[in-house]
Structure 1
């Protein structure tokens, strides 16, 4: 993909195999996975497989998760983006969701909402999507607050693998 998005402080570009080490640093941290079934990754090979899956989504769906680069330091600090879901989640299938995951040392700086706003803008204005969805662990106060801050509307909660999740949706008000 040749797509690059930019915010005031961040650069969002396609995920590459060369990003594996930095993504591994993030995803082996138990704090990062506290609200993701407490299952941090345990090998760089898992990251390589994830990157290949994301790159496959670029080809199949023309969109996917992108790495987040802090401009000032040129450091990879996580990933964010839109994903076309072809697997059922909360009794829904074939929908776009917005997601983000940042390294712990980048939390609390407004980066997640900054990238989320950029992806909403791209999804609605460039891709002309009708609706973007999201899910957050019901106990993850920070992620739920970010989704509300970017305008997502809580619609319901649901259970998956004995975990309670909050479901959010946002309709495109750009398309008339």
Structure 2
């Protein structure tokens, strides 16, 4: 229970570091967060596959949202045609939660998805203000799209986490 709470708190601190710090601080925050995560939380190397899956989801999903004008990014040192490091770091961070503070949701994937459909858009909207990201559509339309996306992202995450557990020979990895 304490590790789950520490996982949630460390992710929140990581979220603030990435969103408020932008490109430069995000790289340092990503390194620090994942070194701590690896040392203190990771019990099997297979967890890293779930984290990498979420980075891939971030490239595709946020990349499409940026490309299609839903998210308008501020000027950046990042010139690659994928989302900036601070945003991909957040996706990786979400992947790091499934075996820890979100482990309860592996048995309740629909509840986890409904909660994500509410809280993830809130995170985007608050984060957009902090990170000087503009919304290319109305707040209501953006909220609705984010709710839809994150409902299904959580389903994918639960499926991948369960698959990882099955391959690891464990029912629960808490």
TM-score by length of 2: 0.31
**Higher helix residue share:** 2
Instruction: Tell me: higher relative CO, structure 1 or 2? Use CA pairs within 8 A at least 6 residues apart.
Output: 2
TM-score by length of 1: 0.31
